[in-house]
Amino acid sequence: MRITLIFILLISSFKLSAQKVYSVKYDYQADVKVFISEHEYQADLLVYKVDYDYQAKENKGLWFFSKYDYQAEKKVFFTKYDYQADLKICFIDYNYQAKWRNPQKKHLME
């Protein structure tokens, strides 16, 4: 019983930290292809870059860019054109602005 509880807690903690990302060089290495929009209204997700990995909680758009690929839960490739992307994001200036504008794409970062 105790082991089961510990296992469930470990699994749920991994789910909460799914916003640790690593930027890859090639699209075939990526879990998600991302395009950076200039305007918020064009984006599926408004992203705020946090300074520390513990700040990247849940699937809310608070992203921590890890130094190494093995530290990340998602590998992203930044596309040149929006039609190449699975997900369109816009970087914002304040963490309270981070949110999903298109909840149908939320599964891409889980």
Could you read off the pLDDT of 11-40 as tens digits, one per residue? 444 444 469 999 999 999 999 999 999 999
pLDDT in tens, 50-77: 999 999 989 999 999 999 999 999 999 9
- Kindly indicate the confidence band of residue 4, based on its pLDDT and cuts at 50, 70 and 90: very low
pLDDT at 11: 43
To the question of pTM greater than 0.85 for the whole model, the response is no
Lowest mean pLDDT among 14-23, 62-71, 81-90, 100-109: 14-23
Return the domain boundaries, the chain: 2-104
Q: How far apart are CA 94 and CA 36, in angstroms?
A: 17
SS3 track for 48-110: EECCCHHHCCCCCCEEEECCCHHHCCEEEEECCCHHHCCEEEEECCCHHHCEECCHHHHHHHC
Distances (CA, A) of 13 to 19, 56, 58, 67, 81: 12, 12, 9, 21, 34
pLDDT at 57: 84
pLDDT at 29: 98
